[in-house]
Chains A and B, each alone.
Chain A
Amino acid sequence: MMNVEKRDRGLLRIDVDECKGCGLCVEACPPKVIGMSVRLNHFGYRTAEYAGAGCTGCGICFMACPEPGAITVLRAATRKAGQVPMIDTGMEGATQCASN
């Protein structure tokens, strides 16, 4: 890949149609990279909005969010040759982040 600049560890996708704009993810996010949109969504809610950079992939916003699929968290795959990508699905990482 040509871009050698350090990538974020995580990435966030927010489904603006499912988000109800409660703001719990904004409060929960340790690196504070989630804000509220200015625009209203189709249903009239201001929705959560990813700042576009800085996500660590900790998953805390996902657990704090009351909607089943409004937030999807992705994490940079750490691949070594011939290995399955390491995925941490538990909340262990989340607890560590939370106590930061």
Chain B
Amino acid sequence: MSSELISDYEVVHSRAKSFYERYERKPELQHQTHFCPGCGHGTVHKMLARAIDELGIQDKTILIGPVGCSVFTYYYFDVGNVQAAHGRAPAVATAVKRSHPGSIVIGYQGDGDLSAIGAAEILHAANRGEHISVIFVNNGIYSMTGGQAAPTTLIGQKSTTTPGGRNAATEGYPLQVSELLATLQAPVYIERVGLGDNKQIAQANRAVKRAVENQVRGLGFSLIEILAPCPTIWKMSAVDSQHWVRDVMEKTYPLGVFCDRTKEVQPRGLPEAGPSLDQIPHILGVADEDLPEGNSAVVEKAEDIDLHVRVAGFGGQGVLLLGEVLAEAGLDAGLEVSWLPSYGPEMRSGTSNCHVRLSSQPIDSPLVTVPNILIAMNEPSLRKFDLSVRPGGWVIYNGDTFPADCMREDVHVLALPFTQVAHELGDARACNMVMLGTLLEIANSLPQASIDVALRRLIKNPKWVELDERALTRGRELFKESLQEV
């Protein structure tokens, strides 16, 4: 055929603009999806991309991806993407839609994701009538994990967890999500469609577009359930699995519209924007003089500050508070900070530790696996974390003598009876603040004003503030004295 002739033809169906040109998930095969040949997801992806194209909403669409075979929506759709934890797409979609009311939020979920682990999320999102569109792809099985039974597995259908076929007496009945949700008052549109033949595919295409259009019109919650083939796990050819959708699945999951309130509901405009930050005190009735002061002192970021601190001890020693004061002081000084506690369910006597980071740069991870300062408030904590300290770092140990077998050549060690020191100051419980004082003197990167502010923010009792201030000062002195001794 000559090119002259082809030029008389116009392209009417081609790759949707809402798809990326190339899928950069892996270096090779960037031109095709990761789906198996004949997978229903590919077909549904195309319907959704086409709907987004036709409605002209690519720039304001946020797609919430699921866990399952279709987890990689963000590699395919050139729209805003959030990939939610398993089953939580409706909850994430709720948050996204409420915080960005002008966007079009579409949840995309499979049947394992939506009807099993995420059953509560979809039920409540539907019941609240969240203004989102949900595309629910039902193939009756957990495909990505290798074919376990889902709540939607048909009676008698074999899976790796129902090798004799699903039995209603032990595994219950197939969950009819569309019928279930249609009993609620809030949903605006719920329809079940299939991919069983050309006619069904054409109807599915219209339904997907309608679900998105309902949201564009501000109508409310729409869900489209799509019966989709899974040739690989069903162990059928693509064509046979398509027939199976129509001939077998449809008997359990009849197609049709289960709820349509699109004509009755009033379109909802965009909700009012929330109050700005400076309006909040007024709304709460807080007088100007009661507002917290701003930062007392911002550290000049002349040098890079990067503290990785691990504080460990037994519960009740004030391990977490020590870390909190440090982080709060860093915050006041205008640094990036993180404080991550880690403890068991016991309120007292269990082990307890916290990760604290202070940095002049944004913090990548709040975890401190390789600390440059370790505060070990008892011996088990020392033994647990001693080897993790970065060479050149500091170990501050609460004890008269440092256990010989914990000695390391490549770290600085300061072992002092901090509890005894605190006891002499007035209360052994101030031990944590003595140790913090030592740490602050070692790190020497926070202004005293920030520490004072942090202490007053976190400790309400003036008696304790006074004691803790003395404890901090004593801790600083202890470090200086230790230098003179050497």
Contacts and interface: CB of A to CB of B under 8 A. Distances in A.
Contacts, number: 135
A73 B202 CA distance: 16
A59 B31 contact: no
Contacts of A23: 38, 237-239
Interface string A3-46: 10001001100010110111110111010000000000001010
Interface stretch (B43-51, B156-164, B289-297, B457-465): B43-51
Interface size of B as a range: 35 or more
B37 A22 contact: yes
B279 interface: no
B31 A66 contact: no
Interface string B173-206: 0000000000000000000000001110111011
Contacts of A75: 9-10, 12
B26 interface: no
Contacts of B239: 22-24, 26-27
Contacts of A20: 32, 36-38
Given A62-B13, A68-B16, A69-B19, A95 B199 contact: yes
A41 to B, nearest CB: 11
B258 interface: no
B206 A91 contact: yes
A98 B9 contact: no
Contacts of B201: 28, 60, 63-64, 98
B169 interface: no
Contacts of A95: 199, 202-203
Given A21-B37, A27-B242, A66-B43, A87 B231 contact: no
A59 B203 CA distance: 14
A73 B35 CA distance: 22
Contact of A69 (B15, B37, B40, B205): B15
B389 interface: no
Interface size of A as a range: 35 or more
Contact of B43 (A30, A63, A69, A85): A63
B277 interface: no
B199 to A, nearest CB: 5
Contact of A66 (B5, B39, B203): B39
Residue of B29, B33, B37 with most chain A CB atoms under a 10 A cut-off: B37
Contact of B32 (A60, A67, A87, A94): A67
Residue of B13, B45, B197 with most chain A CB atoms under a 10 A cut-off: B13
Nearest to B12: A75
B14 interface: yes
A20 B231 CA distance: 13
B231 A22 contact: yes
Contacts of A59: 12-13
Contact of B9 (A27, A64, A68, A76): A76
A10 B5 CA distance: 12
B43 A73 contact: no
B9 A74 contact: yes
Nearest to A86: B10
B49 A68 contact: yes
A62 B13 CA distance: 7
A64 B33 contact: no
A99 interface: yes
A67 B33 contact: yes
A99 B199 contact: yes
A98 B202 CA distance: 8
Contacts of A11: 1, 6, 9
A94 B10 contact: no
A69 B46 CA distance: 9
4 closest A-B pairs (Cβ-Cβ)? A66-B42, A69-B15, A22-B38, A22-B238
13 contacts: A17-B32, A20-B32, A26-B239, A27-B242, A59-B13, A66-B41, A67-B42, A72-B11, A74-B9, A74-B10, A85-B10, A89-B13, A97-B198
Interface of B: 1, 4-6, 8-16, 19, 29, 31-33, 35-43, 45-47, 49, 54, 76, 197-199, 201-203, 205-206, 231, 237-239, 242
Given A22-B38, A70-B32, 12 more contacts: A7-B8, A11-B6, A21-B37, A22-B238, A23-B38, A23-B239, A24-B238, A64-B43, A66-B33, A68-B15, A88-B12, A91-B206
